[in-house]
Amino acid sequence: MKLLVTGGAGYIGSVVVHQLLDAGHTVEVIDDLSTGHVGSLPGEVMLHKRDLHEVGEVLTPNAGFDGVLHFAAKIAAGESVERPELYWHTNVAGSLALLDAIRVAGVQRLVFSSTAAVYGNPSTLPITEQATVAPTNPYGWTKLAVDMAIAHAVKAHQLGATSLRYFNVAGAALDGPIPLGECHEPETHLIPAALEVAAGLRPSLRIFGGDYPTRDGTCVRDYIHIEDLAAAHLLALEAIDPGRHKIYNLGNGKGFSNLQIVEMVRAVTGEEVKVSPAPRRAGDPATLIASSVRARAELGWVAAKPDLASIVGDAWTFFQTRRIAGSTG
């Protein structure tokens, strides 16, 4: 298939692009490179450096695209509380522009990068796809709004679509020609931020909130390896049915607290990771743990790297590789 990947130069999108190419697909990417990295893309991939609102200039009726994988978005929950209008403009208005371009171009396949943040503070764990949706931050609300817009587009235009609701994605893809991992400026995600402390690049790791109703008072999250997450996108793409909107949760079904992550980073790196307690962040749920039973049953998806040690270990290897590459020019 010929596929358009929005946000394909980002952390998740770039890993999916590489897996799509390995599977024999033709891939083009639209990315404004505000957070993505052109160096994450293979040379044979055509990059359209454009804002998502301009996607109609790429996704045209004559372009011959068979499907779209949609990753382009603002993703920081804390920032979304401070700048909600940016998140609604980028995530919702941009996605509506994409859905309109999909309609005009006659594309029949869409895989959307949704999020576990749509569930807010769930009443039962693990979280199934039937759980009540009640986001606690604007980021989650914008993703839920796009899920809803997709559902209506499916009914109106017989689009086949799948929303994949990720839990916490981490780790790195190390086996390909280009090592791919998290690289944010500034780094806001827990595992790579902890690795920066272990490497002496920042003095301490801020842990937001120590009074949650969890085992040690810090937030608990379900971590999924980036390669396992990417593989689910290829399975979802093949399993799309016209006129149906499917939703799948993707995680490992195990929760780890922020302090448990710190301990694993210490164990993997052999370095001390100093922690600085900080107040809770607005909109952070206490615990998010996935049930991926539906994805296993309907997509045949099975995590190849479910253990936390592999996730943190691959992230550390990527981190060291990137530091060496930076130090040599």
What amino acid positions are annotated as catalytic residues? 139
Tell me the C-alpha to C-alpha distance, in Å, between residue 48 and each of 17, 38, 144.
14, 11, 27
**Strand ranges (DSSP E) for 167-317?**
168-170, 205-208, 220-221, 223-225, 245-250, 256-257, 275-278, 287-288
166: nearest Cα among 290, 39, 33: 290
State the Cα–Cα distance between residues 181 and 53, nearest whole angstrom: 27
Q: Are 91 and 216 in contact (CB under 8 A)?
A: no
Q: Which of 255, 229, 235, 127 is nearest to 170 (CA)?
A: 229
Tokens of 178: 């280009």
Give the residues across from 164 on adjacent strands. Answer: 113, 248
Question: Nearest CA to 29 among 82, 1, 71?
Answer: 71
Between CA 174 and CA 120 the distance in angstroms is 33
Distance (Å) of CA 218 to CA 157, 285, 286: 44, 10, 8
